[in-house]
Structure 1
Amino acid sequence: MSSIVNSDNIIFSFTDDANWRSKIEGIYTKGTKIHPSRYNTTLAGRVMLDTTGVILTPGAHQFLIKAVGYEDVTVTVTVAAPLTPPTITGQSVSATGIKLDFIDNPDWRSKITGVYQNGNSVSIHASRIKRNVAGEVTLDFTGAALSPGTHQFVIKANGYEDVTLTVTVAAPLAPPTITVQSISAFAVTFNFTDNADWRSKITGVYQNGNSVSIHSSRIKRNVAGQVTLDFTGAALAPGTHRFVIKADGYEDVTVTINVAAPLAPPTITGQILNPTTVIFNFSDNADWRSKITGVYQNGNSASIHPSRINKNAAGQVTLDLTGITLAPGTHKFLIKADGYQDVMVEIN
């Protein structure tokens, strides 16, 4: 009978004897019977012994297998001394991630079985342990930020000594004080005395308690002293909205804003002057004209190009449809203006 030893089990192999396997009544070590829940006798040619949570010291270990009607079987298992893991040469620590540097040992990286935090008997979830880069192991705590203070981690790898390291997570820095410059249903701009480091470390903006950040493409942070949220195509409803801005290494910032109900637009009549020109007439509202963001034709999700929308004349918006030519029949135009209710104009 031969044996294979790894971190979680011992496998006893033999030419199969199904009757012997079925008659096994106990496996003993050092005179103590191992609990039946730890061994499996159902596999042909194998008896598997689960050693999860049991530390076998280096050296020889004897196991006695008893089966009713059969002679006892004694198997000696040799546990090799654990190898020396790499020395951690550097670390980068934040509340949302820890990166460990070492002279690469791909065998050690590949055999990492778990990382245990602050004495926990359950490893950090495997999805948070990144070990695919040579000379690096990264622990990702996104969404489960480490509290400020000291944390101990034990890294276990099959066949290697454990690595124990202690890291200190600094207290978060104070973020800049935010003021709100402008609010509309389509954009919110936050102003502050610029802190380029804070801007560069923004990891997400969370709206109204949502656990998922607003998409990064909607968060504009490239202007000094300003962060703008772009809600084009996903307008904010009137009322109160709360935003939490998270930045790596900084305290969260919570900002509450109020989006006003949209204003009433002017009453509009439409006229098709010819197949390439449409005119909308109304009692002039210069503010509404200046805030027109798009004109959408016949349910199209994309606006007519801004270069075709002339809104410079008082009481009038003109569409230049040269090269498009309206077909005979009814046409619907939806006019959107920032801060105003949409206007639908139907022209025959």
Structure 2
Amino acid sequence: MDVTRVASALLQGAAQVIKGKEEFLEYLITVLLSGGHVLLEDLPGLGKTTVAKTLSHLISDGEGKPLPFKRIQFTPDLLPYDITGVDIFDPDLHSFRFVPGPIFANLILADEINRTTPKVQSALLEVMAEQQVTVGSVTRPVPSPFMVIATQNPVESEGTFPLPAAQLDRFMMRLSLGYPHRDAELQILDTNPSELVLSHLEPVITVDELLQARALVDQVYCHPNLKEALVDLARATRNHSDIRLGASPRSALHLLKAVRAYAFIKGRTYVVDEDVITLAPLVLSHRLKMVDPRTEASPLIRRLAIEHCNKYDYS
């Protein structure tokens, strides 16, 4: 199994739909190969929903069909069982039977996740961490692979509910598409809406190839000193005067998984310190609570990553 070929096929396929966003796509495929979840924070109309649909079309379920994909539109009146499913009484069987919710799919689009209440948001906590759902006294696994792509608008605050720290910590990365550059925007106009492109998009890998690729990514070599730097970086965020809530141990584990996948996308079988410096702001920034909420966490994390990576010798 050549993971580089898998990554390259996914990147080339996604670029047919998402124009001019090569760096963003590298980060997205990094999360996919790491087995993580991603929070897309961007303005309306920039293609957040299209990103999830594109991934679904690029991965075959093994029978030539796109990977099972479900979209959950988060609204204030949504209830937890609208996501997880519910036990209902069947009068013919004289017993309860389980009706699964949309969470039982491989790829989930949690659209505008901050427009529903914290009670409903918490319905995702177990499944994002453990790939299982508990309804009543029964715990059921969700299909593998499993990935949540959540979206939210960073500008609008009216009628929204900020994601709690426990929820944010489940996301491996927070990414932003941003506006396309001028040439890419012209290309979008010339190639017609993305839905037309999606309808002709063929799978480039199977679900089995994705699972094999994930297993190989876990074997990418990371120098023991670089792991020390990762731990030091996470611990530094917990004792910094500008940070009220620092990074959890889960965040360091997510960062390790991410840099391994990113290294393979770059064609390497080993992690370098530049991988950590590049990805640390994407993996850590959304988890931190700053003393001054107006302070941007990403530049601080990058400085801390450079500082702690430069302390060690990797030869």
Q: TM-score range by the shorter chain?
A: under 0.3
Report the TM-score when normalising by structure 1. Answer: 0.18
Report the TM-score when normalising by structure 2. Answer: 0.19
Higher helix content, 1 or 2: 2
The answer to which structure, 1 or 2, has the higher relative contact order (CA under 8 A, 6+ apart) is 2
Larger Rg belongs to: 1
